[in-house]
C-alpha cells in the first residue's frame, strides 16, 4: 500500500504545479461539469464524465499542442467522452429491445400519450437524437439551453460562423422531417 502511494507520487514529480491533477481539478472541473450537465441532462453522468475527462487529459497531456486554450481542449475531450457514452447507450438500448422482442414476441412499449402533441414531441425527440452530434450539439446549446453563440462556439471548439451554419442545417433538417406536425408548432 505504501509502495503504491510512493509510486504514484513519483509519477507526478516532474509535473509543474499548474499541471498537477489537483490543480487541473480545481481549475477546470466546475466548468467541464456544467458543460456536461447541460449536454447530458444528468448531474451524476456529468460528474462521471467530467472526472473521466480530466483523467483522459492527464493521460494524454502531451497531445495538447497549445494552438487553442486548454479549456477548449478539455471541452473537446468532454464532448468526445459524452458522444462515446451516447453511442454505448444506443447500442445497449438496441440489445435490450432485441432481447425483449425475442423473449416476449413484441416490442418495448412506447411512451404514454396518444394525442397529436405527444406524438409530435416524441417525433421531435427522435429526430433531435437522430441528428449527427455535430449538428445536434450547437442546436441544443443555443436553442434548448439558452447559451449565446460565442459561448456555445467556444464550448464546442468551433468558430461562431461554423456554429451558425450548423444550427441552420439542423433546423432545415428538422423542418423537413417534422413537416407533418407543422400545424402544431
Kindly report the backbone phi and psi dihedral angles of residue 178, in degrees, each rounded to the nearest multiple of 5, phi listed first.
-105, 20
CATH number of the domain encompassing residue 75: 1.10.1740
Q: What is the pLDDT of residue 12?
A: 42
pLDDT at 134 over 80: yes
Q: Which of 71, 86, 109 is the last residue of a domain?
A: 109
Q: What is the pTM of this model?
A: 0.48
Quote the pLDDT of residue 171.
87
128 within domain boundaries: yes
Q: Does residue 9 sit within a domain?
A: no
The arithmetic mean of pLDDT across residues 51-55, rounded, is: 90
- Do 58 and 119 share a structural domain? no
2 domain-assigned? no
C-alpha cell at 88: 454505448
Does residue 104 share a domain with residue 18?
A: yes
- Please write the tens of the pLDDT for every residue from 3-27: 444 444 444 444 456 667 777 788 8
Residue 88: give the domain boundaries.
14-109
- Mean pLDDT computed over 154-169: 91
* Residue 64 φ/ψ, nearest 5 degrees: -75, 110
Look at the chain and report how many structural domains it folds into. 2
Same domain, 101 and 139: no
Rounded to whole angstroms, the Cα distance separating 175 from 136 reads 14
Given the C-alpha cell 425527440, which residue does it identify? Answer: 125
CA distances from 122 to 38, 146, 166, 181 (A): 20, 22, 23, 11
Q: Are residues 104 and 54 in the same domain?
A: yes
For residue 6, being part of any structural domain is answered with no
Assess if residue 7 is contained within a domain.
Answer: no
**H-state helical runs in the chain:** 2-11, 21-40, 43-59, 70-104, 116-130, 133-139, 149-156, 160-177
Residue appearing with cell numbers 494552438: 67
Distance CA 35, CA 43 (A): 11
Mean of per-residue pLDDT scores for the chain: 77
How much is the average pLDDT of 65-81? 86
Do 126 and 181 lie in a common domain? yes
Q: What is the pLDDT of residue 103?
A: 64
In a domain, 143, yes or no: yes
Residue 103 and residue 86 share a domain: yes
Amino acid at each position: 500500500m505504501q509502495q503504491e502511494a510512493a509510486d504514484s507520487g513519483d509519477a507526478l514529480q516532474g509535473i509543474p504545479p499548474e499541471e498537477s491533477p489537483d490543480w487541473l481539478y480545481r481549475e477546470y472541473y466546475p466548468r467541464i461539469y456544467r458543460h456536461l450537465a447541460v449536454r447530458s441532462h444528468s448531474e451524476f453522468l456529468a460528474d462521471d464524465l467530467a472526472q473521466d475527462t480530466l483523467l483522459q487529459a492527464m493521460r494524454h497531456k502531451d497531445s495538447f499542442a497549445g494552438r487553442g486554450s486548454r479549456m477548449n481542449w478539455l471541452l473537446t475531450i468532454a464532448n468526445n467522452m459524452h458522444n462515446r457514452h451516447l453511442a454505448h447507450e444506443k447500442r445497449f438500448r438496441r440489445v435490450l429491445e432485441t432481447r425483449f422482442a425475442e423473449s416476449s414476441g413484441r416490442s418495448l412499449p412506447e411512451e404514454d400519450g396518444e394525442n397529436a402533441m405527444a406524438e409530435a414531441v416524441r417525433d421531435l425527440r427522435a429526430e433531435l437524437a437522430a441528428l449527427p452530434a455535430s449538428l445536434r450539439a450547437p442546436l441544443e446549446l443555443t436553442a434548448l439551453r439558452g447559451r449565446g453563440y460565442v459561448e456555445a462556439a467556444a464550448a464546442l471548439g468551433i468558430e461562431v460562423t461554423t456554429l451558425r451554419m450548423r444550427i441552420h442545417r439542423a433546423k432545415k433538417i428538422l423542418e423537413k422531417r417534422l413537416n407533418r406536425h407543422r400545424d402544431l408548432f
